[in-house]
Structure formats: C-alpha cells, structure tokens
Amino acid sequence: QLQLVESGGGSVQAGGSLRLSCAASGRAFRTYNLAWFRQAAGMEREFVAAISWLASRTTYADSVKERFFISREITKNTLYLQMNSLEPEDTAAYYCAAGSHVLTSNADDYPDWGRGTQVTVSS
C-alpha cells in the first residue's frame, strides 16, 4: 500500500494561487495513475484532476480546466496540483489518490488515499 501525505493547503484570497504537494512512499509509486479529489463541507467528494503514470496524459474536471494543473515528479515520488485564479467555490479539503491502472475520475478506482489538506478561499 502507498502512503500519501498532502501539504501546501492554506487560506488565500480569491484570485490567488496555491500549490499542493503529495509525497508518496511505499510500493512503486511510478507505475500508478494519480489523482486529486476534493470535498467541501457537507458535499460529496469530487474529482479534480488525474495524471497517467508516465505523466503523458492528464484529465481535469470542467470546473478547474485552465486554472489548475496537475504534474508529478517521478524521481521525487511527488504529485503536485498548481491552483491559479482560485475562487471561493474551490474551498475544500483536497486529497491525493493513487493506485489506479486506468486514467479515471472515479474515486472507487483509486485504492490509496492521503488524509487531505484544507484549502480556504475568501472573497
């Protein structure tokens, strides 16, 4: 099982930027597709972005396209989410997920999860 630890969350004003990181340890991180999900208070967990294990393909939720960018640094076993032009609607706990063998937005396809990092965007 992969161990995933997110960092980089915080409070920011609307229009600002944050970069989230997810450090992985355990079994072969580099062979799995990775993703970011988020969950706002009282809401269902929702897909944000995913990246293939070779970083050759990415996919995004429509709500974050052109504002958020997912990347991974294989040599550092780290996943990133660059978030620009943040909006109050982006306020949520952000989770990284790993272990899928397909590039998917379905949370059930990712067996390994971090504990999350909180992002709060004020207007």
Q: How confident is the model at residue 10 (pLDDT cuts 50, 70, 90)?
A: very high
The Cα–Cα gap between 70 and 36 comes to: 8
Quote the pLDDT of residue 28.
65
Beta bridge partners of 24: 4
The Cα–Cα gap between 123 and 49 comes to: 24
Name the more confident of 27 and 55: 55
Q: What is the mean pLDDT of the chain?
A: 93
Is residue 110 predicted with pLDDT exceeding 80? yes
Token pair for residue 34?
A: 């990775």
Quote the pLDDT of residue 54.
81
Contact between 47 and 21 (Cβ < 8 Å):
no
Is residue 56 predicted with pLDDT exceeding 80? yes
Q: Work out the average pLDDT over 118-122.
A: 98
